[in-house]
């Protein structure tokens, strides 16, 4: 079985063999600075969510609403 990998193509990141995508809730980052954070985690083969994410993106903002995610469909 092949493993997931990602390749930098200009400024596009491509991840193959994705098993699942997990978007965490928006939470206070705990620094008492009024900053909010959420993570987007990509899990891949061969371990899926039982292994570490192959990619994890943390996004932060001082405005909680800025971290809302809009999608064209509601299939999460």
- What are the domain boundaries of the chain? 6-67
Predicted local confidence at residue 16, as pLDDT: 93
Question: Model confidence over 8-59: pLDDT tens digits?
Answer: 767 788 899 999 999 999 999 988 888 999 999 999 999 999 999 999 998 8
Cα atoms found within 13 Å of the Cα of residue 33, Cβ hemisphere only: 8
Does 3 or 35 have the greater pLDDT score? 35
């Amino acid at each position: 079985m092949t493993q997931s990998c990602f390749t930098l193509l200009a400024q596009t990141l491509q991840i193959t063999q994705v098993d699942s995508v997990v978007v965490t809730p928006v939470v206070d980052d705990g620094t008492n600075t009024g900053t909010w954070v959420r993570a987007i985690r990509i899990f891949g083969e061969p371990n899926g969510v039982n292994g570490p994410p192959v990619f994890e993106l943390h996004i932060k903002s001082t405005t909680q609403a800025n971290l809302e995610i809009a999608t064209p469909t509601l299939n999460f």
